[in-house]
Amino acid sequence: MNTNPYMTTESSAMPQNELEARALIRTASRLNGIKERWPVPVAELNEALDLNRKLWTILVTGATEESNPLPVEIKQNIFNLAHFIFKHTFAVMAKPEAKSLDILININMNIARGLNEQSLRRAQQAESAAPAQG
């Protein structure tokens, strides 16, 4: 639980896609740290994999909600990606190997990169749409 009120305020003021990008990066970093320190205790590996699975459960649930304005094709792509992540996660748990973490790390980082680029484009559009101040 975060007891720092400034961190809570900062997070609540941040756009949703930036929060999601941060969560993906943190989870990818944790998995990468495990890969770099391999071998690690099974409990530590499973905890990190479970955290990633929970994050993706939240992401796919939000993305595929009927009220979400995303196009159906994108919702389906996110669902398919999450399904792959869940299957791969259980495969890693069944047969742990450091190199098998690469795909989870890469997916998280690539999705985070896309979310951050989306935020940057949105900020640039807002800036160019704002009336010139003189």
Read off the DSSP letter of residue 133: P
pLDDT of 118 reads 84
Whether residue 3 lies inside any domain: the answer is no
Residue 107, domain member (yes or no): yes
The reported pLDDT for the residue numbered 127 is 80
CATH of the domain at 89: 1.20.120.340
Packing angle, helices 72-94 and 42-64, rounded to 10:
170
The answer to whether position 68 is within a domain reads yes
pLDDT at 125 (0 to 100): 79
Q: What is the pLDDT of residue 12?
A: 56
Domain contains 130: no
pLDDT of residue 131: 67
Q: Which domain holds residue 90?
A: 16-121
Residue 57 lies in a domain: yes
111 located within any domain: yes
**Domains contained in the chain, number:** 1
The pLDDT assigned to 10 comes to 47
User: Quick check: 65 and 72 in contact, CB under 8 A?
Assistant: no
Closest-CA residue to 114 (of 64, 63, 50): 63
In a domain, 7, yes or no: no
> From the first residue on, what is the mean pLDDT of each consecutive set of 10 residues in the chain (134 residues)?
45 79 98 98 98 98 94 96 98 98 98 90 79 57
Q: In this predicted structure, what is the pLDDT of residue 7?
A: 44
Give the Cα separation of 71 and 111 in Å (integer): 17
pLDDT of res. 25: 98
User: Closest by alpha carbon to 23, among 131, 123, 109, 89?
Assistant: 109
- Predicted model pTM: 0.83
